[in-house]
Amino acid sequence: MFKDPRKPKGLKRFGTLPNHPDVPVGPTPRKAVWKRNKATLWYYPSPVKNKRTPLFLVYSLVNQAFILDLGPGASMIEGFTQAGYDVYLLDFGIPGYEDKHLTLGDYIFDYIQTGVRRALRHSGAEEITVIGYCLGGTLALIYAAVANEPIKNLILFATPVDIGEVPYMDKWTNAIKRGDLKMDDFIDEYGVIPAQVMEFWLRLITAPVNVTPYLALLGRLNDKNYIRKWKQFDKWVKGHIPFVGAAFKELINELLIKNKLIKNKLELRGKKVSLKKIKANLLVVSTEADALIPEEMTKPLMSKVSSRDKTYKRVRGGHVSLAIKGGLPDFLTEWLQKRS
Amino acid sequence: MSKLKDLTLLVAKYEKELNTLIQEKLNDHELVNSANEGLQKHLSTLRKLRKFNEFVAQQLNLPTKDDVAAIAKLVMQLEEKLDRIEDLLMHLLDENPSALSQEGLNQTTTNNDSESLQADDVNEDQELDELSDEESSKPLKTKIMNLLSEMGMKVLKDAVKNALAQRGNSGV
C-alpha cells in the first residue's frame, strides 16, 4: 500500500510494457490508389500542395514500410506532405509462401514500373521523383535504369549498390562467393526466408546484444510521448517480414557474388540494366553510423550514372535516423525545392 | 536518475565492445564450415519431412502447402489479367477522348483521380454498364474485344462478352 520512495516512478509500467495494446502507426491520411497481390500504392495528399512533381517512395523488402510514417512528429512522409509534396508510397506488403516465385524482374516491372505509371496517371503530373530506401533504393535504382517513364529526380537513402566487398562478416560472404556455403537449396526448400531468420541475420550484422534502448526507456518512464515513440520504433525493429526466395537468390547470386549491378552486367527479363542510362537528377544519401550499409557500398554509384546534376551527401545518424527524425532535413528540403 | 544515466553510458560502451567481440568470434572459417554442414543436415531432414507430408496428404486426400500456394497463384494470375485489362481500358480512354464524352465518362475519370480503389471498382462497374449500351459504346467495345483477342486471353474475352450480353439482356 505504501509507495517505496527508492523505486523510480513508472517502474511498474516498464514491467507491463509487453502487455500493452498494440501501438498504432501510420497517422498521415492516405488512400489506396492501386493494389496488386499484397502490394498497395498509397497516396498521401499534401494539405498545402505547392509542388508540381509528386514523390514516389519505394521501401525495402526486408522490413515494413510504416517506418516512413511512424507517428506524428516522427514521419518523413508527414514531412513531405507538410512541405507541399503529394506522396505515393509503394508498400510491397508481407509476402507469403505463395509468393516464393517473385523475382527482381517482377518487383521492378510489375510492381514499381506499374506503380509509377499509376501514380503519374493519378497525379496528372508530367514527371515524378523516385525515392528509394535501403534495398528499396537498389530496386528504385534498377528501375530508373530501365524506366521509360519521366523520372525527374532520383533520391537514394542508405542504398547498397556496390556489394563486391562487404566490410563485415567477410568469412561468411567469401564462403558464399566461393560456393562453400550453399544457400540456394536452403532458399528453395523454404520458398520464402522466414522473418525470424531475416531478423537473426540482421541483428548479427548490426547489434547481437542490444540492451541500451531498454535502459534509455527505463530512464524516461514518465514521458508518455517518449514511450509511445519507443514502442512504435520497437514495433518496426521487431517487425521483420519474410523474404521472397526467388528474389533473394537473385540478390545473392547476381548482386552479391557477381556484383553485376555496379558492373552494368545485370539483366532482368532480357533487358540490360545499365546505370549509364540514368540521367535523372541524382541525390545519394548515406549516414555515418550506418552499420548495415556503409559508404563503400553506396558511393561508387556516383561515377556510374550519366546524370549531370548529381549530389552525394553524407550526414550524421544511423540506418533509419532520417526517416524517423520528423520533418525533412535541411539539405533535402533545399535539394528537392529547386528540382520540383 | 543520474546513476541510471551513468549505467546506461557504461552499458552502451560495453555493449559495443561485446558486439564487436561476438562478431569477431562468429566471423570464423571453421564456424562457416560447421554452419554449412549443419545446414545440409537440416535440409536433408526438411526434405524427408516434406516428402513424408506429401505422401500422407496424398493418401488422406488433403492439400499440401504447395497445393494451396498453387491456388493462390492462380488467383494472383487472374488479378494480373484484370490489372492488364484495367490498363488497356485506361489506355483506350486516353486514346479516345470522344468516346469519353459520348458516354459521359468524363466525370468518372475525373472522379477516379480523387477516389480510393473501392470507389474505382464502382466506377469500373459504371463503365461496364455504359459499355453495354449498344448505341453509344460500340466502337470502344469492339476495340476492347479486339485488344483482348490480341492478348490471346480467350477465356477473359468470353467472360467479358458474356457479362456484357447478360447486362444487355437484363436491361441494365
Residue with the three cell numbers 506503380? A115
A334: number of Cβ within 10 Å: 11
User: For position B114, what pLDDT does the model report?
Assistant: 44
**A101 contacts on B by Cβ (under 8 Å):** 73
The Cα of A96 is separated from the nearest Cα of chain B by a number of Å equal to 9
Q: Give the best residue of B9, B71, B76 to mutate against chain A (max A CB count within 10 A).
A: B76
Closest partner CB to B43 (pick from A33, A171, A186)? A186
**C-alpha distances in angstroms, A314 versus A23, A57, A131?**
32, 20, 17
Signed CA dihedral, A133, A135, A140, A145: sign only: positive
- Cβ-Cβ contacts under 8 Å between A and B: the total is 99
**3-class state of residue A168 by DSSP:** coil
Chain B hits for A169, CB-CB cut-off 8 Å, are 23, 26-27
Per the CB < 8 Å rule, is B79 touching A33? Answer: no
Mean pLDDT of B147-152: 59
Q: What is the ipTM of this complex?
A: 0.76
Identify the pLDDT of residue B96. Answer: 77
Spell out which residues of chain B touch residue A100, defining contact as CB-CB under 8 Å.
69
**What residue type is assigned to position A307 of the chain?**
S
In sequence order, the 6+-apart residues with CB closer than 8 A to the CB of B74 are none
Among A84, A82, A86, A83, CA closest to A72: A82
Q: What is the mean pLDDT of residues B56-66?
A: 94
The model's confidence at residue B117, banded by pLDDT at 50, 70 and 90, is: very low
pLDDT value at position A26?
Answer: 85
Question: How distant is the Cα of A37 from the closest Cα of chain B, in angstroms?
Answer: 6
| Beta carbons of B83 and A96 less than 8 Å apart | no
- Can you give the pTM of this predicted structure? 0.81
Give the nearest chain B residue to A102 (CA atoms). B73
Q: Which of A46, A31, A30, A41 is nearest to A119 (CA)?
A: A41
Nearest chain A residue to B70, by CA: A98
CB A132 within 8 A of CB A140: yes
| Residue B149: band (very low, low, confident or very high) from pLDDT cuts 50, 70, 90 | low
Residue from A33, A43, A123, A166 whose CB has the most chain B CBs within 10 Å, to mutate: A33
Q: In the CATH scheme, what architecture does the domain A23-339 have?
A: 3-Layer(aba) Sandwich (3.40)
Of B5, B32, B68, the CB nearest to A172: B32
Per-residue pLDDT of chain A (340 residues; tens, 9 = 90+): 455 555 555 666 666 666 666 788 988 999 999 999 999 999 999 999 999 999 999 999 999 999 999 988 889 999 999 999 999 999 999 999 999 999 999 999 999 999 999 999 999 999 999 999 999 999 999 999 999 999 999 999 999 999 988 888 889 988 998 888 888 999 999 999 999 999 998 888 888 898 888 888 888 888 888 888 898 998 998 889 999 999 999 999 999 999 999 999 999 999 999 999 999 999 999 998 888 898 999 999 999 999 999 999 999 888 888 888 888 899 999 999 999 8
Instruction: Identify the three-state secondary structure at position A18.
Output: helix
Residue ranges of domains in chain A: 23-339
Q: What is the DSSP letter of A162?
A: -
Residue A65: exposed, middle, or buried by beta-carbon count in 10 A (0-12, 13-18, 19+)? Answer: buried
DSSP sequence for A48-64: T---SS-EEEE--SSS-
The verdict on B2 touching A (C-beta cutoff 8 Å) is no
Residue A146 neighbours by CB distance under 10 Å: 21
Q: Is the pLDDT of residue B104 over 60?
A: no
DSSP character at residue A277: G
